[in-house]
Amino acid sequence: DAGVIQSPRHEVTEMGQEVTLRCKPISGHNSLFWYRQTMMRGLELLIYFNNNVPIDDSGMPEDRFSAKMPNASFSTLKIQPSEPRDSAVYFCASSFGGAGANVLTFGAGSRLTVL
Amino acid sequence: KQEVTQIPAALSVPEGENLVLNCSFTDSAIYNLQWFRQDPGKGLTSLLLIQSSQREQTSGRLNASLDKSSGRSTLYIAASQPGDSATYLCAVYPGAQKLVFGQGTRLTINP
């Protein structure tokens, strides 16, 4: 298995632009998580899906952020409009059975810079 | 609110030394604890997962211990190598699908 695949690896955009980050989880995993990592705040859980259904989005910072999982093999995280404070590395992770029960596998991350 | 602390924030040791990384958490009501490794510019790689009923887990040169009552975990690395240089994060699972991460310890092994 190629692991969790994220794209793009790097994104530089200007404030106000729409940003879409993509994730392909490991085949057979039924839980998917979006995390954000910054130096100041460390790793923060934004949202997680179980069987393609959003279960908890309480970590999503504000309405500018939205996430979808149209099928078991694809998820997107969208920021519209983007702001400089959104600059961070965004990680997607997947597992079978949930973050606590089993090992969580992370993607390589998408580094976002908003100018 | 569960908080996870890792001290020190950075550690530099010569190759070959045995070392211990520390992790403490404020609420002992956890289901398990995981140790991750993160290389620069990369994602996290799971190293060890210790269930709340377990006291330790071993994988190769790595040994992780868990003392729930005192809210502590340690990651022991034997015979350190330059390839062990990375940031090590611990995360506790208090439930509700939310892992709570520490800020990590940045480890440098000097040849």
Provide CB contacts within 8 A for A40, sequence distance 6+. Answer: none
Where residue B78 falls among pLDDT bands split at 50, 70, 90? very high
**A43:B89 CB<8 A:** yes
- A90 or A58: which carries more pLDDT confidence? A90
Pick from B3, B24, B18, B21: which is nearest to B67 by CA? B24
Set of chain A residues whose Cβ sits within 8 Å of the Cβ of B43: 4, 91, 93, 106-109
Q: What is the pLDDT of residues A18-70, one digit of tens each?
A: 999 999 999 999 999 999 999 888 899 999 999 999 998 989 988 999 999 99
Per-residue confidence at A100, pLDDT binned at 50, 70, 90?
A: low
CB contact under 8 A, B34 and A31: no
pLDDT surpasses 80 at B110: yes
CA distance A102 to B108: 29
Query: How many Cα neighbours within 13 Å face the side chain of B16?
Result: 2
Confidence of residue A98 (pLDDT cuts 50, 70, 90): low
